[in-house]
């Protein structure tokens, strides 16, 4: 009998009033299977080719997987790793693995092998479920040493390819042995459901363990009005990798709402996303910001006059989409580009941008100003900004400080990691981001605290500079990083991918001069063919800083040719 | 350290992964106060007169109330009763009382004094917060005996009226002593937040105690797409009494979403609802089915050409709105009349009707057929129908059985009541309703099990007959009850409120004949001026049955004049 003693230590019973029904992923599946059994999950299998089945089929296969894993010796609490693309089999593991109380560990396939080896050993994965094309990579991991893994399961359509992995099973054989009527068990809602690792600024990636409760509550928040436009009649394309924060928890939200879910399958290219929208009448999608730009560029370069007007919502995340990209989609197809702000540690959404009705009468550019903000905290999410001495700053849109959050879907620890104590303090999570909050609760991120530029004792926001640069018609992408400087300690350096190669540094300098104080303007503008990205598609400022570290100014331009930030040919 | 032992008794820790942030009503207030501080709560104070303040004002007064109640000696777990209309002060108690871990007991002001006395004594209310106009009633209750109540608080604008209540305080004086910066405490989410009593078919009303967790989860469900259309830009009129299942949990949902909330104040009349929609640009409202009919009739009888086209959503509950009312609102104002299905025991929603996209291509009448169903279960709600031997029936839209539910917002007990064991069985709640479930999970209620008519061993659905009767152009309201019959044991009796007094029983008999088996057709049609309603606006079949019990057929018509079912003059 639990009791609450606040505040005069009166004991008040809190049991037995309402049913003790846990918030489990299986509760979402129970409903969707019954209400939306005929709605589809569609996976791209080739150009214009799709695998289609219904949520009824999906649920049967989830139960087959769950029962087969139990027979296979997977126990509650065990970690089951996946290295896979976005497709229906991977999505089956999303509910099949947590469905028996085991933990789904989605491994980022873009990491270096030594990082993947670290994750698997740190998480103590007992089984790995992988795509066929990942076999060589996993053979390499075995050679490096992943001793906790006692079985490999390969997802694919055909027979098992030749491999040294052992013991190894076909995923489809496993399912064939499973029971499609297996009833998913009930257990505590705070049971681990999934885990992901997030890159750290220094050292190994850090692990976050999600619970059923956290994932159910996030899906409910995202399904709410004024948050993500996920409704039953959506045809939703999940472009964000399913190994990245559980695909932003979007596949769960689509399932909760009975929306049609579209998955891009193995090795999708830019044009595949465009084609899927056109072929399937996709109404909404979520992706990294770069995808929105790439799709635009694909359409512009294409001979075909693509009709993408079914696409009502494009949620671009990872960083703020530029105003130019927002406007292009709106003008060309009537697509509303929206942003949220999330982190692996927050299951993952923290904020979602919707324009409050009291602001709706502003003029177009002011509305875009609002839409450029990272949005308002979603329900149940509390936020605050603190100054350097730990004092809480006002929500005036001006005061910039460390951004902290707490919620039922925020991690209270990094999995078996000493770095927990740096980030989880006093019941709050220190995001590492720096920003302001405006009087309507819109968060305006200024930078990762590591990405901030402090020049002559004053802060420079690299994000503000990047947005301004990307608004220039001759710029496709731009990032600004801090580099060491003898006099000012740090100075901003701009790396620019031109869309028109005639662009000059002077032209960009002049473009910025009207908008920022003189000392904010980068001293150098490097024209490059490509900006290195992290495994989740963000500008890799850590890599850029490492490349240029110690170079000082000027003269840095000469070194570019040697790096992965390729200069324009 | 909690642990989960399923299924091989492996102990898996479930603590410390995600933050232990409770689902508290105060978490909703925290956010709304910051994001929607300038949005309004509007209360009707007279014809065309309104009291307006913002959520920022509201939150300050909630904190004043909470701190004042603590100072006043109210402890966590204490019951604080209210007898009040829908207005801003009553809404302040919604968050102020549960905000300190006390329980808000909203007392139905339409009950008989002996029932109210029973409720107050059974709930052991320690304080009563009442409207000024309820003073004579409460003085009467004191005379009858409500010994647990140790203080009375009177809500109103002016000075305290003359009263024998003692000790008695002005609500505004209480608030003046409170602290507007008081921080609402955190405690277990399964702490009681509110309680309501529901009429029983026999015996005293039964109490249901809600938890913070249940109410937060319900509000989140209602705020989801395809459920209630509650979004930030709504201007929502809460017509359903705030003493009835926490106003259907709608005020909490409006607050969660930052919607403008409109409250009808003291003693609203039919025309007041119409005027509020027109004056304030109301976009959505929830009310008992009869209100939708009364508003229509008011508009039709009015000299003024009312523009109610702002009203996009009219949620009519308590029973199914007739197709005629649905169509009238749609044709006249473009208002979408929607229904849900709830019970006091379920916080309260069980189902909500939205037309699945796969059904949207049906013709208009088929769409109305779907909209006449009680809807699909909301997220986290599990449902089943059982036959008389307890076997689960298929979801074929035909099989009719007892309707059972379970969810995290369904009561696991009636408060200190032996009748718990009749209704809460094996982790499920037996609703007492009888119905079918169609293959898309739409619930089709046939009757309260007590209201079912079993004639010659075969079931007759009074609801189907009522809907058919109400679709007749000369019928305003109709109800069908079971009365004893020598040969068939039970027979249906129709009570009809005509909209056109020329209507005859033969005309109605003929109208039904095309739609139902001959033995379904009521033997008698009683034309009455009014059908007695329960305190929550439903047809009071219990009262009707009691009136006619033993009367047999025919000849019953002669007795009508003696009853509250008034005959047409």
Which of B94, B82, B138, B93 minimizes the C-alpha distance to B113? B138
Stretch B408-433: mean pLDDT:
94
pLDDT of amino acid B350: 97
A382 has which bridge partners?
A406
- Rounded to an integer, what distance in angstroms lies between the CA atom of residue A511 and that of residue B546? 84
| Chain A residues close to B28, C-beta within 8 Å | 379
Average pLDDT of the residues of chain B: 90
Question: Taking Cα atoms as reference points, which of A474, A382, A488 lies closest to residue A428?
Answer: A382
What's the confidence (pLDDT) of residue B536? 67
Cα B84 to Cα B348: distance, rounded to the nearest angstrom:
20
A379 touches chain B (CB under 8 A): yes
Give which of A5, A19, A76 to mutate to test B binding, by max B Cβ within 10 Å.
A19
Residue A477: Cβ-neighbour burial (10 angstroms; 0-12, 13-18, 19+):
buried
pLDDT on residue B552: 40
pLDDT band at A454 (very low <50, low <70, confident <90, very high): confident
Chain B nearest CA to A120, separation (Å): 19
Does residue B66 sit in helix, strand or coil? helix
Per-residue pLDDT of B479-530, as tens digits, reads 998 887 777 777 888 988 898 888 988 999 999 998 888 888 998 888 888 8
Tokens matching residue A292: 């929105």
With pLDDT > 90 as the criterion, what percentage of chain A qualifies? Answer: 70
B188 Cβ partners below 8 Å, 6+ apart? A2, A4, A14, B22
Closest chain A C-alpha to B61 CA, distance in angstroms:
20
Quote the pLDDT of residue B450. Answer: 67
Where in chain A are all domains bearing CATH 3.40.50.12780? 25-268
Mean pLDDT, rounded, for B23-51: 97
User: CA-to-CA distance for B406 and A402, rounded, in angstroms?
Assistant: 43
Most confident by average pLDDT, A132-146, A466-480, B480-494? A132-146
Class of domain A453-562: alpha beta
Q: Select the more confidently predicted residue: B55 or A553.
A: B55
Residue identified by tokens 């820790």 is: B13
Token pair 């053979």: residue: A139
User: Are residues A19 and B429, on separate chains, in Cβ contact within 8 Å?
Assistant: yes
Q: What is the CATH number of domain A25-268?
A: 3.40.50.12780
Task: Examine the pLDDT at A449 and tell me if it is beyond 70.
Answer: no
Region of residue B367 (phi > 0: left; psi between -120 and 50: alpha; otherwise: beta): alpha
Per-residue pLDDT tens digits for A3-39: 334 443 344 566 779 999 999 999 999 999 999 999 9
Q: Which of A124, A119, A85, A117 is nearest to A103 (CA)?
A: A124
**pLDDT of the residue at B564:** 32
Binning pLDDT at 50, 70 and 90, where does residue A457 land? low
| Substitution target from A54, A78, A124, A224 for chain B, most B beta carbons within 10 A | A224
Instruction: Report chain A's mean pLDDT, rounded to a whole number.
Output: 90
Is B227 a known active-site residue? no
Q: Of B186, B382, B416, B459, which is the active-site residue?
A: B459
Taking residues B266-286, what's their average pLDDT? 96
pLDDT of residue A532: 83
Residues of chain A with CATH 3.30.300.30: 453-562
**Tens digits of residue pLDDT in A145-155:** 999 999 999 99
pLDDT average, residue stretch A81-105: 98
Most confident listed range (A53-57, A285-289, A489-493, B13-17): A53-57
Q: Do B358 and A39 touch (CB under 8 A)?
A: yes
**Which residues of chain A does CATH 2.30.38.10 include?**
380-448
CA B38 to chain A, closest CA, distance in angstroms equals 8
Name the CATH superfamily, with its identifier, for domain B455-562: ANL, C-terminal domain (3.30.300.30)
User: Is-catalytic flag, A459?
Assistant: yes
Cα–Cα distance, A127 to A105 (Å, whole number): 10
Q: Which fold, A380-448?
A: Luciferase; domain 3 (2.30.38)
A224–B257: do the CB atoms touch at under 8 Å? yes
Burial of B16 (0-12, 13-18, 19+ CB in 10 A): middle
Q: Is the pLDDT of residue A555 over 50?
A: no
A16: distance to nearest CA of chain B, Å?
A: 6
Chosen for mutation from B225, B378, B393 (greatest number of chain A CBs closer than 10 Å) is: B225
Indicate the pLDDT class of residue B457, thresholds 50, 70 and 90: low
For residue B528, what pLDDT is reported? 82
pLDDT for res A50: 98
Q: State how far the alpha carbon of A503 is from the alpha carbons of A454, A463, A472, A567, B245, in Å.
A: 28, 21, 10, 14, 66
Q: Is the pLDDT of residue A423 over 90?
A: yes
Q: Compare CB distances from B357 to A187, A229, A233 and report the shortest one's residue.
A: A233
pLDDT of the residue at B562: 28
Give the side-chain half-sphere CA count within 13 A for B98.
33
Q: Which of residues 329-348 of A touch B (CB under 8 A)?
A: 347
> CA A81 to CA A141: how far, in whole Å?
13
User: Is the model's pLDDT at B288 over the cut of 60?
Assistant: yes
pLDDT for B534 equals 76
φ, ψ of residue B287 in degrees (nearest 5): -160, 165
Out of B14, B190, B360, name the one closest to residue A188 (CB): B14
Residue tagged active-site, from A356, A382, A421, A454: A454
Residues 123 through 182 of chain B touching chain A, CB cutoff 8 Å: none
Q: Is A454 a catalytic residue?
A: yes
Nearest to A477 by CA among A319, A312, A313, A371: A319
CB contact residues (below 8 A), chain B span 276-335, against chain A: none
């Amino acid at each position: 009998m639990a009791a609450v003693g606040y505040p005069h230590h009166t004991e008040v019973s809190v049991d037995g009033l309402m049913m003790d029904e846990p918030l489990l992923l299986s509760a979402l599946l129970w409903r969707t299977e019954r209400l939306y059994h005929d709605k589809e999950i569609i996976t791209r299998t080739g150009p214009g080719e799709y695998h289609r089945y219904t949520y009824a089929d999906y649920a049967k296969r989830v139960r087959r997987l769950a029962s087969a894993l139990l027979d296979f010796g997977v126990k509650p609490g065990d970690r089951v790793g996946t290295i896979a693309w976005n497709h229906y089999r991977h999505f089956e593991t999303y509910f099949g693995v947590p469905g028996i109380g085991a933990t789904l560990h989605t491994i980022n396939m873009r990491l270096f092998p030594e990082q993947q080896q670290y994750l698997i050993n740190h998480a103590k994965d007992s089984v790995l479920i992988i795509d066929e094309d990942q076999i060589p990579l996993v053979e390499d991991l075995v050679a490096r040493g992943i001793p906790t893994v006692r079985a490999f399961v390969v997802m694919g359509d055909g027979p098992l390819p030749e491999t040294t992995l052992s013991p190894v099973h076909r995923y489809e054989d496993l399912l064939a042995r499973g029971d499609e009527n297996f009833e998913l068990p009930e257990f505590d809602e705070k049971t681990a459901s999934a885990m992901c690792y997030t890159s750290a600024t220094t050292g190994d990636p850090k692990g976050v363990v999600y619970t059923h409760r956290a994932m159910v509550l996030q899906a409910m928040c995202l399904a709410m009005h004024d948050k993500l436009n996920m409704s039953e009649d959506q045809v939703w394309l999940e472009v964000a990798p399913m190994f990245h924060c559980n695909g932003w928890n979007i596949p769960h939200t689509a399932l909760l709402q009975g929306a049609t879910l579209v998955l891009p399958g193995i090795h999708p290219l830019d044009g595949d996303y465009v084609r899927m929208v056109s072929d399937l009448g996709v109404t909404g999608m979520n992706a990294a910001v770069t995808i929105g730009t790439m799709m635009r560029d694909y359409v512009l370069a294409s001979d075909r006059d693509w009709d993408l007007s079914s696409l009502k919502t494009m949620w671009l995340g990872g960083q703020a989409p530029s105003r130019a990209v927002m406007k292009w989609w709106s003008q060309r197809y009537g697509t509303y580009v929206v942003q949220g702000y999330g982190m692996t540690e927050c299951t993952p959404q923290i904020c979602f941008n919707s324009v409050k009705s009291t602001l709706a009468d502003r003029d177009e550019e002011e509305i875009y100003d609002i839409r450029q903000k990272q949005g308002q905290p979603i329900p149940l999410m509390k936020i605050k900004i603190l100054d350097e001495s730990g004092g809480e700053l006002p929500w005036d849109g001006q005061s910039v400080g460390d951004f902290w959050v707490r919620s039922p879907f925020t991690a209270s620890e990094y999995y078996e990691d000493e770095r927990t104590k740096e980030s989880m303090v006093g019941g709050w999570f220190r995001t590492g981001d720096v920003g302001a909050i405006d009087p309507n609760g819109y968060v305006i991120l200024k930078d990762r605290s590591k990405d901030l530029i402090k020049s002559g004792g004053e802060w420079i926001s690299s994000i503000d500079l990047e947005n301004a640069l990307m608004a220039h018609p001759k710029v496709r992408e731009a990032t600004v990083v801090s580099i060491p400087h003898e006099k000012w300690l740090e100075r901003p350096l701009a790396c620019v991918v031109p869309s028109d190669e005639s662009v000059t540094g002077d032209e960009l300098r002049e473009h910025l001069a009207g908008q920022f104080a003189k000392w904010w303007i980068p001293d150098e503008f490097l024209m490059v063919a490509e900006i290195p990205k992290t495994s989740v598609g963000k500008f890799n400022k850590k890599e850029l800083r490492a490349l240029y570290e110690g170079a000082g100014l000027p003269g840095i331009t000469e070194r570019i040719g040697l790096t992965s930030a390729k200069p324009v040919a």
